[in-house]
Amino acid sequence: MSKSLINFLKVLVSIGLAGILLYVVFRNVAWEEFWQRAKSVDYTWVVVSILLSIIAYVARAYRWNILLEPLGYNLKTSRTTLAVLIGYLANLALPRLGEITRCGVLNRNDKVAIPAALGSVVTERIIDVVTLLILILVSLMVESARLMAFLDSAYRDLNIPSYIIWIVFFTGILGAILVIVFIRKQDQLKGKFADLIKGFISGFLSLKDIKRPIGFILSTIVIWVVYFMMSYIIVFSLPETSQLGIGAGLMLLITGGIALSIPVQSGFGTYHGMIAGMLVLYSIEETTGIFLATLLHTSQIAAVALFGSISLIISFLIRRRAAK
């Protein structure tokens, strides 16, 4: 089977899965109520959210520069911002395509070696995963009472067999042992999976070589604070959700982050379903929850499409000028 056919099938499966998930989420939506909410939206908050995304893109590009410095590359933040935005635009076409695309843009525009760029992207992703895990723990503490009340009411009559608990426990122990063994014996292991894990480990360890650790930490904080603000301020655009507090905003952030990390076409379906499901914790009824999720997701897609397209044009002009 040719590589082009495999890539085509990947796109087809991703789009098909997104379509199925969207159908499942929207099948019971009361469309008359849905469009009524669209008329009541204060779109000023949506526009502000889209404009805020520029800060997150620039901060991510700045942080990427810090990771590239130990590898011998000193780039302008404006150049890496173009690559980041084009990468996000590519993700609209195929999940995870953006990581490779933005490395390719830096290679063409600034002669950054693709293996070096990919290694730095791996490190960046590890940091994002760790940050998301920390935020999940924080949200569990902040909203623990609400979560426990919801689980108690939802699963009060559910009897979990004791052997299931023991299976989960021993699976966790076995997983921890395998990780320790892999780290100790990684030089002896071969294969694509082993190489992938080694890449993650070496990428994470490369953090010790960065020259501006304070800048790296601050830019990471800026990225996630802006992500939080982008999600949270949109709740004020709807009368039904305008009373939601900061705790709900934090839950929106982490739920959206988890949904977008699932390899489905641009989070279609997963984002809408998970956000709407989470909003049940705050007594937001289904149609309103799905509408807010749609508003959040559409604003992010619009930001990527707008700024990514502009960046693509600028990148083309840069290459054309360099060729002349």
One-letter amino acid identity for 216? F
Cα–Cα dist 293/273, whole Å: 8
pLDDT (0 to 100) of residue 37? 82
Is 13 within a domain? no
Average pLDDT over residues 233-247: 90
Average pLDDT over residues 244-248: 88
Rounded-to-10 torsion of CA 6, 7, 13, 17: 150
What is the per-residue pLDDT across 42-101, written as a single tens digit (0 to 9) for each?
999 999 999 999 999 999 999 999 988 887 888 889 989 999 999 999 888 776 778 888
Which of 185, 184, 181, 183 lies closest to 173 in space, CA to CA? 181
C-alpha dist (Å) from residue 110 to 73, 85, 315, 316: 9, 16, 11, 13
Residue predicted with more confidence, 156 or 194: 194
Is residue 264's pLDDT more than 80?
no
pLDDT (0 to 100) of residue 235? 92
pLDDT (0 to 100) of residue 158? 47
Is 9 within a domain? no
Residue predicted with more confidence, 23 or 165: 23
Is 101 within a domain? yes
Per the CB < 8 A criterion, the answer to whether 110 and 73 are in contact is yes
Is residue 253's pLDDT more than 80?
yes
The encoded tokens of residue 143 equal: 């909203």
Is 135 within a domain? yes
Is residue 178's pLDDT more than 80?
no
Q: Which of 32-36, 51-55, 127-131, 184-188 has the lowest mean pLDDT?
A: 184-188
Is 147 within a domain? yes
One-letter amino acid identity for 52? L
Domain count, the chain: 1
Q: Which of 122-131, 203-212, 295-304 has the lowest mean pLDDT?
A: 203-212
Burial category of 318 from C-beta neighbours within 10 Å (exposed 0-12, middle 13-18, buried 19 and up): middle
Is 17 within a domain? no
pLDDT (0 to 100) of residue 248? 87
- In sequence order, the 6+-apart residues with CB closer than 8 A to the CB of 144 are none
pLDDT (0 to 100) of residue 152? 59
Cα–Cα dist 135/250, whole Å: 8
Is 137 within a domain? yes
The encoded tokens of residue 300 equal: 């992010």
Give the pTM.
0.80
Is 77 within a domain? yes
Q: What is the DSSP string of 257-322?
A: HHHHHSSSGGGTTHHHHHHHHHHGGGT--HHHHHHHHHHHHHHHHHHHHHHHHHHHHHHHHHHHHH
Residue predicted with more confidence, 181 or 189: 181
pLDDT (0 to 100) of residue 10? 64
pLDDT (0 to 100) of residue 113? 81
What is the per-residue pLDDT across 135-173, written as a single tens digit (0 to 9) for each?
888 887 877 777 666 555 544 554 555 555 567 667 767
Kindly report the average pLDDT of the chain as a whole number: 80
- Which residue segment(s) compose the domain that 169 sits in? 31-323
